[in-house]
Amino acid sequence: MDYFIITSLTKDISRIDLIGILLGHLIFGVALTQLLDWTWLKNLMSEEDKTRMLKSYTWKDLLVDGAIVTVVLGIIFLIISIFI
């Protein structure tokens, strides 16, 4: 049932609409990032903890991070391909 809702929605949305929605979300995300105060992030870990964590970072951790980014990008492209 949900599949038919998605396919009927894609018939009503053009590529221009999709590009506008994506650009609007991007602009909103950048604006929200600039408006919020992110200074509390640097107080989450002490300098010794940061140094210790970075020294223990290995190539396996890099592979895991790359896999996570790849999965997220794949999901985004899947959602975009539904609407195109």
- State the pLDDT at residue 10: 59
- State the pLDDT at residue 8: 62
| 5 has a pLDDT exceeding 60 | no
Domain count, the chain: 1
- State the pLDDT at residue 67: 95
pTM for this entry: 0.44
- State the pLDDT at residue 68: 94
Q: Taking the CB of residue 22, how many other CB atoms lie within 10 A of it?
A: 14
Q: Which domain holds residue 42?
A: 2-83
> What's the pLDDT tens digit per position in 28-70?
988 888 888 878 777 888 888 888 888 888 889 899 999 999 9
82 compared with 77, residue with greater pLDDT: 77
Average pLDDT on 58-84 reads 88
In order of 39, 42, 45, 57, 66, the CA distances from 52 in angstroms are 22, 16, 11, 9, 21
- State the pLDDT at residue 1: 47
Cα separation, 22 vs 78, in Å, equals 14
